[in-house]
Structure 1
Amino acid sequence: MKIVGLTGGIGSGKTTVAKMFASHKNIAIYIADVEAKKLMNSSKKIKDKLIANFGEEAYVNNTLNRPFIADIVFKNKEKLTLLNSIVHPEVRMHFQNFIKINDKKKYILYENAILFESNSYLLCDIIITVIANLNTRINRVISRDKTTKKEVLDRMKNQWHDHKKMLQSNYVIVNENLDETQFQVQRIHNILTVNS
């Protein structure tokens, strides 16, 4: 059973690529960001630590106050590191359980925006990095998150540069044209399942 890490900078289109992989029913997909958001709302351990470190405002009506937390962590690297140190160990345990449940699949696709930054790449047998032109990425995030160019660039500063990720990846998907992206996804899936 292979663990295939899928990563890429903000706006590269990881989610789009993950959805393309999802068309194959013989694999399981774990989206770390989605599961982290769920755990931040359901795990008492995470809640208690976030309130202790970020204050009562971290939660509103028992739900994570995302804008409040984002405003703090994307402007302060130490606070982002602190947030990750609280959330990632819980996500990692959750993922280990997911692996056990899906051990009959051809492979598990583990989508994580900060695969390298959080050392989660150590869990992976194969790594795929999704890249796109910087302006494409900025425009995607602005239209998706209704945010500003400055805010997007601030978030990018907290992620590794593409070339650094690419050097440590087995495959790179260039996500500019959806048909070409689909072709690349299919080719990689075929390679990953040919001998398993």
Structure 2
Amino acid sequence: MIVGVTGGIGSGKTTVVKLFSNYTNVAIYIADAEAKKLINLSAKIKQQIIDLFGEKAYKNNILDRKYIGQLVFNNKEKLQSLNNIVHPAVKEHFANFVKSNQHKDYILYESAILFESNSSEKFNFIISVYVDLSERIQRVMARDSVDKKEVLARIKNQWKEDKKLLLSNYLIINSSLENTKNQVRKIHNILTEKATHFL
């Protein structure tokens, strides 16, 4: 059974996934982290990105995320071209991850752009993590040392929250850690129970 976890930038998906990782019957796949590894380790992907953005795309063999970010966040075509390189590689990598974790009750796949990348159909259930927009902006500004304008530019590339929530099976309101822990425990128990019907 495969469960998607998503939410807008700064909603606290990482915190939620860490709480799920306390349960031993769950395998967790962080799409963004795996994409970063593939981008820096795969010679094929590196070459495709250099062909698209030039030699400046990498600094000391590591993707220059700030440079790429400036190029793609206000240019939908370039962002789409980058996604066309990275998404198929992540998809293949995840398929192998699923095969090697079939003994788990369910697999959590965390991605900020789960709906935007048209991959929501492959999940049995979807969990959305939600926090008020003003709090998300403050979190991202503090976390990434960027200004409000840059945070809003990133948010603009993601679906509106209400649209995501309507298409999700479960909602976690990530306002306080204790409250979030309780919501994660409840959803985990439901999913563990549901997993028995997928065998």
Q: Give the TM bin, normalised by the shorter chain.
A: over 0.9
Matches within 5 A, 1:170-185: 170-185=169-184
What secondary structure, in the 3-state scheme, does the structure 2 residue paired with 1:109 have? strand
Give the distance between the partners of 1:62 and 1:135, measured in 2 at CA. Answer: 36
5+ residue gaps in structure 1? none
Query: In the alignment, what sits opposite 1:151?
Result: 150
Partners of 1:67 and 1:177 lie apart in 2 by 31
Query: Which one-letter code corresponds to 1:108 in the other structure?
Result: I
Aligned residues: 195
In the alignment, what sits opposite 2:118? 119
Within 5 Å, give how 1:122-137 maps onto structure 2: 122-137=121-136
Does the residue aligned with 1:10 lie in a helix, a strand or coil? coil
2:91 maps to 1:92: yes
- Equivalent residue letter for 1:75: N
The aligned counterpart of 2:60 is: 61
How far off its partner does 1:76 sit?
Answer: 1.0
Counterpart-to-counterpart distance in 2, 1:5 and 1:120? 9
Residue 96 of structure 1 deviates from its aligned partner by 0.2
Structure 1 residues 59-68 or 151-160, which shifts more? Answer: 59-68
Deviations 1:115-166 (A, max 9, x none): 0011121221100000100111001101111110110000000000110001
Deviation beyond 6 Å, 4+ runs, structure 1:
none
Correspondence list, 1:1-196, <5 A? 2-195=1-194, 196=196
Q: Aligned partners of 2:13 and 2:21: how far apart in 1?
A: 12
In structure 2, list runs of 5 or more residues that go unmatched: none
Q: 1:153 and 1:63 mapped to 2: Cα distance?
A: 26
**Which digits, 9 at most, give the CA deviation of each residue in 1:3-23, with x for residues without a partner?**
000000000000000001001
CA distance in 2, matches of 1:175, 1:126: 19
Q: Percent identity?
A: 59
Which has the higher mean CA deviation after the structures are superposed, 174-183 or 28-37? 174-183
Deviation at 1:84?
0.7
Q: Give RMSD over aligned pairs.
A: 0.8
CA–CA distance in 1 between the matches of 2:59 and 2:139?
Answer: 29
The offset of 1:173, in angstroms, is: 0.7
CA deviations 1:82-107 (Å, max 9, x no partner) are 11111000000000000000000010
Q: Deviations over 1:45-88 (max 9, x none)?
A: 21111001101111112211111111111121111111111100
Partner Cα distance (2:119, 2:177) in 1: 28
Q: In the alignment, residue 30 of structure 2 is paired with which amino acid?
A: I
Query: Could you tell me how far 1:194 is from its partner in structure 2?
Result: 1.8
